[in-house]
Amino acid sequence: MSNEKVILQFLNKEKGRTNLRTITNGIYQYKGRTLETTGKRLVNYNTIIAYWDDEKNIIHLNTKKYSSTTSKIQSLIKRLATSKGVDIIEYN
């Protein structure tokens, strides 16, 4: 599954039917090349990149510079979230 599809499923809180998901304690996990969703978190190489705040219905986005790949993923999250009307709070 591409990183973009994993991000979209994270943003949509999707519980789709695919062989690329597993269910642990009722939480759907989606795995891409480097990204995976673990419940309300989006993780890249064991680093939390973004997580949902369900009370405020916003995403907290980690903007710390790790690598060029992570920066591309962070930019993609911002772009896709903005296009879907999802509010983001950036933190470092």
Which pLDDT tens digit goes with each residue over 40-62? 899 998 899 999 998 898 999 99
pLDDT given for residue 33 in this prediction = 78
CA-nearest of 81, 89, 78 to 56 is 89
pTM of the full structure: 0.79
CA-nearest of 40, 29, 31 to 1 is 31
- Is the model's pLDDT at 77 over the cut of 90? yes
Number of domains in the chain: 1
Domain extent for 28: 3-91
Q: For residues 78 and 92, what is the distance between their CA atoms, to the nearest angstrom? A: 15
pLDDT given for residue 54 in this prediction = 82
CA-nearest of 7, 13, 6 to 54 is 13
Helix (H, G, I), strand (E, B) or coil at 42: strand
